[in-house]
């Protein structure tokens, strides 16, 4: 996108959407700050190209370190990592994922993968944006720091590493000043990054707020960092815009069908007009013959249509079998992620609708943790579990657990 042309940004503000504009290659300036949390309610958008910055609450940030410096592999590596975390974007809802390079280090690269929640009703403006990006990437920060600001009445934060966001998160804190829960969320995020061998060392907290005398006691006490309170800086367009591109597939299909029907109608009118001029009588006869031929073809194809309907019905009956979500290997993987240290499965009988597990552990706590893990797993809750008390043996504790899908529950 040419940055030297007039441009408009739709930015999530403290209480509603903000419009920022610029002329030629100058900085962005605030045009309007509204109270509308719905982008569809924003009016007065200039005719210049529009870029929408998604709010932090609409995105999931997945930082990672990969042992590769090949940009062509980053998207696949991020997809595999997200799959392990259970993040599966809807492929029919548009381009909902993107990957950004945070830092290139010796023999590894720090990446930030993001997943966009499909926009709901009213979350996109009436004027279609030309491009999309993230609010956390639009505000310049130097070095390693923590930035805290408000979006739509709630506090959000972003962790910056080498001047680039490596993690961001929306919180439930809607108080007049950042509270202890937000500060603890920041500490937890830093700890999780350290576990992934990502070590930002924030030297300060940038608190962007328009309010005077904001209480920063909680941030200073819990984080132990200097807090600088300033108004949020003017946004800037990132050097390379994101690839995020949400799409309403049903609306796109309806628009495409309408265009095809319009083109077909114009073509039919033109043919009819020319036929009336030169060959009026012949045209009527030819059209009548063509209609009879098409009717005959439709009658001939009727058995095929009926056969397809039968085939489709049988395929729906087979869907519980061919659905990968019912694969025993996939179910076993979900169970394996809940096996605590010191517990061993001796036998596992798994089908799409029934599971039987036999195992042992030296400690009773390990058996109890495993029982709690499989019964509370999001992707195993469709099974009704029977987890009787384990039996003590000479080798520790033995257990037999079983789970089945109730007969009244339809297969996914």
pLDDT digits (tens, 9 = 90+) for 88-129: 877 778 889 999 999 998 889 999 999 999 988 888 998 889
pTM metric for this prediction: 0.60
Q: Could you read off the pLDDT of 283-303 as tens digits, one per residue? A: 677 777 888 888 888 778 767
DSSP state of 378: T
Mean pLDDT to the nearest integer, 28-33: 94
User: What is residue 52's predicted lDDT score, i.e. its pLDDT?
Assistant: 95
Domain regions of the chain by residue span: 7-244, 249-321, 326-404
Q: Please name the residues in contact with 374: beta carbons below 8 A apart, sequence gap of 6 or more.
A: 335, 338, 357, 380, 385, 401, 403
Cα angle 288, 293, 279 (rounded to 5 degrees) comes to 35
How far apart CA 398 and CA 127 sit, in angstroms, is: 63
Q: What is the spatial distance between Cα 246 and Cα 44, in angstroms, rounded to a whole number?
A: 23
| Secondary structure in 3-state letters for 145-171 | EEEEEEECCEEEEEEEECCEEEEEEEC
pLDDT recorded at residue 282: 73
- Across 26-40, 192-206, 261-275, 396-410, least confident range: 261-275
**How much of the chain, in percent, has pLDDT values that exceed 90?**
58
- For residue 270, the model assigns a pLDDT of 67
For position 82, what pLDDT does the model report? 87
Q: How confident is the model at residue 320 (pLDDT cuts 50, 70, 90)?
A: low
Distant-in-sequence, close-in-space partners of 205: CB < 8 Å, separation ≥ 6: 145, 146, 147, 148, 216, 219, 223, 225, 226, 227, 228
Tell me the C-alpha to C-alpha distance, in Å, between residue 266 and each of 80, 108, 148, 287.
49, 59, 57, 17
Contact predicate 42/125, CB 8 Å: yes
pLDDT at 317: 64
* Best CA proximity match to 361, nearest among 339, 380, 334, 377: 339
Q: Which fold has domain 7-244?
A: Nucleotidyltransferase; domain 5 (3.30.420)
Residue 67 tokens read as: 């042992």
| Range 362-386 average pLDDT | 91
**Quick one: which of 41, 55, 48, 43 has its CA closest to 11?**
55
Q: Is the pLDDT of residue 254 over 60?
A: no
Q: Tell me the per-residue pLDDT of 176-208, one tens digit each, with 9 for 90 and over.
A: 999 999 999 999 999 999 999 999 999 999 999
| 326-404 maps to CATH 3.30.1360.100 | yes
Please give the pLDDT value at position 5: 75
Minimum mean pLDDT range among 12-16, 232-236, 280-284 = 280-284
More confident position, 239 or 159: 159
Half-sphere exposure of 385 (CA within 13 A, CB side): 18
């Amino acid at each position: 996108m040419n940055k030297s042309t007039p441009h408009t940004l739709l930015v999530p503000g403290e209480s509603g959407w903000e419009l920022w504009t610029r002329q030629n290659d100058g900085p962005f300036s605030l045009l309007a700050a509204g109270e509308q949390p719905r982008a569809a309610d924003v009016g007065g958008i200039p005719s210049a190209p529009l870029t929408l910055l998604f709010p932090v609450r609409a995105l999931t940030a997945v930082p990672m370190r990969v042992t590769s410096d090949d940009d062509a592999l980053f998207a696949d590596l991020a997809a595999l990592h997200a799959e392990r975390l259970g993040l599966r974007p809807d492929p029919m809802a548009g381009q909902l994922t993107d990957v950004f390079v945070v830092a290139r280090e010796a023999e590894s690269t720090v990446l930030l993968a993001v997943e966009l929640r499909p926009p709901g009703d009213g979350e996109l403006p009436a004027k279609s944006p030309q491009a999309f990006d993230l609010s956390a990437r639009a505000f310049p920060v130097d070095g390693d720091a923590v930035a805290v600001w408000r979006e739509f009445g709630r506090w959000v934060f972003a962790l910056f590493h080498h001047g680039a966001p490596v993690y961001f998160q929306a919180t439930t804190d809607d108080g007049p000043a950042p509270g202890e829960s937000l500060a603890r969320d920041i500490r937890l995020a830093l700890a999780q990054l350290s576990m992934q061998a990502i070590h930002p060392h924030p030297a300060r907290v940038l608190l962007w707020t328009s309010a005077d005398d904001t209480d920063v006691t909680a941030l200073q006490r819990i984080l132990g960092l200097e807090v600088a309170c300033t108004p949020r800086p003017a946004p800037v367009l990132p050097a390379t815009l994101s690839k995020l591109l949400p799409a309403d597939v049903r609306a796109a299909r309806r628009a495409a069908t309408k265009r095809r029907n319009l083109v077909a109608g114009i073509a039919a009118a033109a043919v009819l007009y020319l036929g009336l001029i030169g060959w009026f009588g012949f045209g009527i006869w030819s059209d009548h013959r063509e209609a009879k031929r098409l009717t005959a073809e439709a009658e001939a194809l009727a058995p095929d249509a009926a056969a397809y309907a039968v085939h489709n019905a049988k395929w729906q009956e087979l869907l519980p079998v061919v659905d990968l979500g019912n694969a025993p290997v996939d179910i076993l993987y979900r169970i394996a992620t809940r096996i605590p240290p010191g517990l061993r499965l001796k036998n596992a009988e798994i089908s799409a609708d029934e599971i039987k597990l036999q195992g042992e552990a030296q400690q009773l706590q390990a058996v109890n943790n495993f029982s709690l893990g499989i019964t509370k797993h999001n992707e195993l809750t469709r099974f009704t579990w029977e987890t009787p008390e384990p039996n003590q043996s000479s080798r520790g504790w033995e257990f037999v657990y079983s789970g089945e899908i109730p007969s009244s529950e339809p297969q996914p």
